[in-house]
Chain A
C-alpha cells in the first residue's frame, strides 16, 4: 500500500510577464521561471533541489508557500490542493509549512527582539496564552543551541550563524511538518555551515520533519538529501534518490554539473571541461530541450521537442531525448 505523499507538486508553472511600452505597457513575452515541475515528497524525506542561477529553485519555494502565486499547477498538502485557498484559509496551513531564508542578515526584522520574532507565528496561530507562548519560545531557543539570555537580544547582536539559528527557531516554533530551506547555509562560512547542517539533521530526527533543501552547492545537497532533483532554466532535468544520482548520473547536465564541482577527493585534470558557455537567460530560453545549446550530445530532435520525464531506473527519472 503506498502512503499518500505529504507534499506534492503537480505541473507547477510560474511565468513572469515581460512588458514593453511607454505608458500603457503591453505584454510581449514571459520569463518562464518555473516551467512544469512536478515532484512528490513523503514524510521524513529530504528533497534536495539543486541548480544554477535562473533555474527557478527559489521561485518553486515561494510558490509552494504562496508568497508568489503560481501561474498554473497544483500544490497538494496531505492531498488537499492549497493553491485556490484564500489567504485567510491559507493561514491554517501555514503552521504546517515554514521557510528558512538565505540571508541571515535580512531575514530577521532588525527592530524586533528574538522573543518578538519567535512569538509572531504563535500569535498568528492563536497559540495559548502569554505564559505558554513564552515557554514554547524558551524551549525552541534552547533547541537551536542558543542561550536563555538571548531572549531579549536584537538580531544585530548576533553573528551570521547565530542568526540562522534564530531563523530555524522561527520556522520550528509552530511545530511544522514541512520546512523549506532556501539556500539556508549558502551565506555561511564552512565551519558554521557544518554546525547548521548538523543542527538541521538533529531536528529532523527529533521532530520527524520533512525538508525541501534548495541549494546551488552540490556537496551540501549530497550530504543532506535523500532524494535529489536537478533543475535547469525552470525545468526538472533529472530526479533520483541520492545514491542512485551520484552513482549513475544519466542526464548530460547532471554529468557536467558533477564534473564541474571542485572537490578535494578527485582533482580534475587540467583542461577537461564538459560544459562550455554560460547559462542562457531565462527570458529567452532555447527552444525544445532548454539544455541543448550546451549539450555535448545534442541531436536535431533536441532543438525542437521538449523531452518528457521518463523513468530509467527505480524511482530514477530523466528528461532527455537520449532515452
Chain B
C-alpha cells in the first residue's frame, strides 16, 4: 500500500467574528493516495473549502487560525512550517484551482506573464526553457493556438479556456497534490464535461493525488474513487464511491442522495427538513440530530466519533458506533 500524499489528522479551524470564536471545521481527518481522487462533498457552510485553505495555509489572516491538528505532507507537518517554507510548497508541490477563473486570473497581465511567474518563482530555468515548458502545458490542456493565448488577456478568453489556463498554471511545477475547489461549478455543463475528462486523464498520467471539492454528487460519481461527506464542519461519512452511492449509512448522506432530482421517479423528492445549523451553534452531540428522521436523546448529548463499519467505510452516527471500531 502506498504512503498517502497528504494526511490530515484531527484538524480544527476557528474563525473570529465580533468577539466570538466559531469553529469552522472540527476533528477533520482524511488522506489522499497517489493517483487517487478524493471527493470532499457537502453543502454550503459545511467547511469543505476551509479544509482546502487550511491545507495550503491560506486561511484569511487575522480572523482565522488552525487551532489543533496535523497536516502531514512529504514527511513534514504543514501546520508547523514557517511562511517561507510554505511558499516553497505552494504552487510547487501542492497546487490549487478555484471556482471562478475570471477572478482567479489577474485581469491586467497577459496569460503568458502569469504562467511564467509560477515557474520563475520555483525553478531556475532560462526564459526559453520556461516558455517551452508553458507551451507544452497549454497543449496538454487542449488549448488551441497556445502561442496566441500566451499573449492574450484573461477577459479575451471564454470561461472554459480560462479554467484550462488555471489547470495549466496549477500543473506547471508538477505538483504531487492538486486541490480543486468547485472547479466546474461556474461552467456550462458541456464545458464541464470536457474539463472533468481532462483532469481525469492528466491525473492518470502523472499519478497525482487530487482532492475534488464540490456540492455536486454527479461530478463526484464521475471523478472520485473515495468520498468524504461533510456536514456542519465535520466529516460524517467516508467510503469508496460505490459504497456511498449504493449503501450510504449516515442519515445525511442518505438524505442528500434522496434530494437529487436525478432519478426517474415521479412525485416529491425525499428531502431533508430544516436548515443547516449556524457554525458553532451546536457544540454537543450530533449536529444533524435536529433534522434526522430517527434520532434518539443520546444523539444530542454524546460526542460521536467516526467509527469504521467496513473496508474503508467510516460513519459518524450513534446507530453504527457500537458495530464498528472507533478510530
Contacts and interface: CB of A to CB of B under 8 A. Distances in A.
Given A198-B269, A222-B261, A271-B201, A262 B218 contact: yes
Contacts of B160: 278
A56 B209 CA distance: 39
B215 A262 contact: no
Given A256-B190, A261-B189, A279-B191, A161 B216 contact: no
B190 A52 contact: yes
Contacts of A52: 188-190
Contact of A190 (B190, B191, B200, B217): B217
The size class of the interface chain A forms with chain B is: 35 or more
A219 B261 CA distance: 5
Interface string A191-212: 1111101100110000000000
Nearest to B158: A278
Contacts of A276: 194
A52 B276 CA distance: 30
B221 A267 contact: yes
B221 A263 contact: yes
| Chain B facing A: main interface SS | helix
A271 B197 contact: yes
Contact of A195 (B43, B222, B261, B273): B273
A257 B191 CA distance: 10
Given A261-B218, A271-B201, A216 B189 contact: yes
A65 interface: no
B217 A218 contact: no
A24 interface: no
Contacts of B188: 52-53, 216, 278-279
Given A52-B188, A191-B259, A260 B193 contact: yes
Contacts of A193: 259, 261
Contacts of B271: 191, 194-195, 198
Nearest to A197: B269
B275 A270 contact: no
Contacts of A268: 193, 222
B79 interface: no
Interface of B: 43-44, 158-161, 188-194, 196-197, 200-201, 215-219, 221-222, 245, 255-264, 268-273, 275-276
